């Protein structure tokens, strides 16, 4: 099994290039289903989740050309597409549920396995189902599948989300663009990835008002056309590199990182004594000798992203002072806490809060990733731990980070990916 082995003590210095956003690229790939013909996406990250989505689209009848070296994906969508997304692929990635809206809009039916993915807590599909019912769909769960039917097509209607769910916003938006009449979506998510999806759909011929706001008005059209679209840069990857520079006292130019997409994150880094300087093509992050402790609470965008919460906890673990990290979105994000404690962090969980008291240094140890961001955050923690840290479960990191280890090496980190034997078992050649 592979692990990422980190020898602590490195100060990161240099520059990294942020690829297109994972959380946008996957949804844009699903959106391609809305238009027969060839859609091309540029700046697509070379990550496992993109390969999984590509295979899912192939099984729906699409021809998908995934060129990792060139960071682009071309999707040739037939006039007739399938409607069943099987558990075999959907269980590996929650973003697979994003084919639900496009399939329902295009072919009037969708059978999508209930998704798997990261172990960060329950993410029910009630908001997806309820919203689609407002648009005239029949939705039920049977034998582990969410079954949606709209034999007479979808009809525009007012839909108010009880919570600004990113996934529900995306599915309802993609369903509404081909519905008859006008749909008004209220209390929708406002993430940059939602804006990116809105812009691609508009380029495809959709009529959408309210881009970037909490209310979207969608005037249905009978047909969309394929496009070429460049994926918005990944703000979570940019934030990862910013925190890695901050905790190591480094100096990293994050090319492609957009500070305007990370306003709350930048505010917290500045409060910790980190310099964040906007540049013409990104931002330069300079970490102090030791950061100050800063409280963080996750909230929907434009609040502090839940995906960057583990990195805020790592900073708190080596900061001067104590901080409270509050998780308001996913109850199981704190599965990461026992692992950072194995590295010597002084952490205590109380409900959806973690009290972390900073220490001058952590101590290397074997740890295990439970999700994408936990895996990357444990590697960052290993950079400031004395001795060697081995992070297992690196398949999670592969799902969200393009060339993570090589980029760390280019910044001066003593890190490598190695194949080690499981306890009591020989390494298989």
Tell me if the bond preceding 134 is cis, omega within 30° of 0: no
The residue whose two tokens read 């969708």 is 110
Distance (Å, rounded) from C-alpha 401 to C-alpha 158? Answer: 38
Distance (Å, rounded) from C-alpha 55 to C-alpha 61? Answer: 10
Give the active site residue among 43, 118, 234, 402: 118
Q: For residues 55-76, b (16+ Cβ closer than 10 Å) or e, as one string?
A: ebbeebebebebeeeebbbbbb
Distance (Å, rounded) from C-alpha 415 to C-alpha 424? Answer: 25
Q: CB–CB of 200/177 below 8 Å?
A: no
Q: What are phi and psi of 389, to 5 degrees?
A: -115, 130
Distance (Å, rounded) from C-alpha 100 to C-alpha 129? Answer: 10
| Residues contacting residue 3 through CB under 8 Å, at least 6 positions apart | 366, 390, 391, 392, 394, 417, 418, 420
Give the CA distances from residue 48 to residues 24, 66, 120, in Å, rounded to whole numbers and listed in that order.
Answer: 14, 12, 18
Reply yes or no on whether 371 is catalytic: no
How many other CB atoms are found less than 10 A from the CB of residue 80? 10
Max Cα separation, the chain? 64
Q: Which residues are designated catalytic?
A: 118
């Amino acid at each position: 099994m592979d692990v990422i082995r980190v020898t602590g003590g490195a100060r990161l210095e240099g520059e990294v290039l942020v690829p297109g956003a994972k959380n946008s690229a996957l949804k844009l790939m699903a959106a391609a289903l809305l238009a027969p013909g060839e859609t091309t996406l540029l700046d697509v990250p070379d990550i496992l989740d993109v390969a999984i989505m590509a295979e899912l689209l192939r099984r729906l009848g699409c021809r998908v050309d995934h060129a990792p070296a060139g960071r682009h994906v071309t999707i040739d969508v037939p006039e007739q597409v399938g409607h069943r997304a099987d558990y075999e692929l959907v269980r590996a990635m929650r973003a697979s549920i994003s084919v639900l809206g496009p399939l329902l809009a295009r072919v009037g039916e969708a059978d999508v396995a209930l998704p798997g993915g990261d172990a960060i807590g329950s993410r029910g599909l009630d908001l997806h189902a309820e919203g689609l019912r407002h648009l005239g769909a029949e939705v039920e769960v049977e034998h582990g599948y969410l079954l949606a039917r709209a034999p007479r097509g979808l009809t525009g209607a007012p839909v108010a989300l009880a919570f600004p769910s990113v996934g529900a916003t995306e599915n309802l938006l993609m369903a509404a663009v081909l519905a008859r009449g006008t749909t008004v979506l209220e209390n929708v998510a406002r993430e940059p990835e939602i804006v990116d999806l809105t812009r691609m759909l508009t380029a495809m011929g959709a009529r959408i008002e309210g881009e970037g706001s909490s209310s979207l008005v969608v005037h249905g059209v009978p047909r969309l056309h394929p496009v070429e679209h460049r994926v918005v840069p990944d703000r979570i990857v940019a934030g990862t590199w910013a925190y890695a520079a901050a905790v190591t006292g480094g100096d990293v130019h994050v090319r492609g990182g957009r500070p305007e997409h990370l306003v709350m994150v930048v505010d917290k880094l500045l409060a910790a004594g980190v310099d964040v300087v906007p540049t013409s093509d990104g931002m330069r992050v300079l970490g102090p000798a030791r950061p100050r402790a800063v409280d963080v609470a996750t909230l929907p965008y434009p609040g502090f992203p839940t995906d960057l919460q583990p990195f805020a906890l790592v900073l708190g673990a080596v900061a001067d002072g104590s901080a409270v990290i509050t998780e308001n979105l996913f109850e199981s994000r704190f599965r990461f806490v026992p692992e950072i404690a194995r590295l010597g962090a002084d952490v205590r969980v109380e409900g959806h809060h973690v009290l972390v008291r900073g220490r001058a240094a952590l101590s290397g140890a074997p740890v295990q990733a439970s999700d994408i961001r936990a895996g990357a955050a444990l590697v960052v923690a290993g950079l400031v731990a004395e001795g060697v840290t081995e992070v297992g479960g690196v398949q999670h990191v592969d799902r969200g980070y393009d060339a993570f280890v090589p980029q760390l090496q280019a910044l001066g980190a003593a890190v490598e990916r190695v194949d080690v034997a499981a306890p009591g078992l020989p390494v298989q050649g």
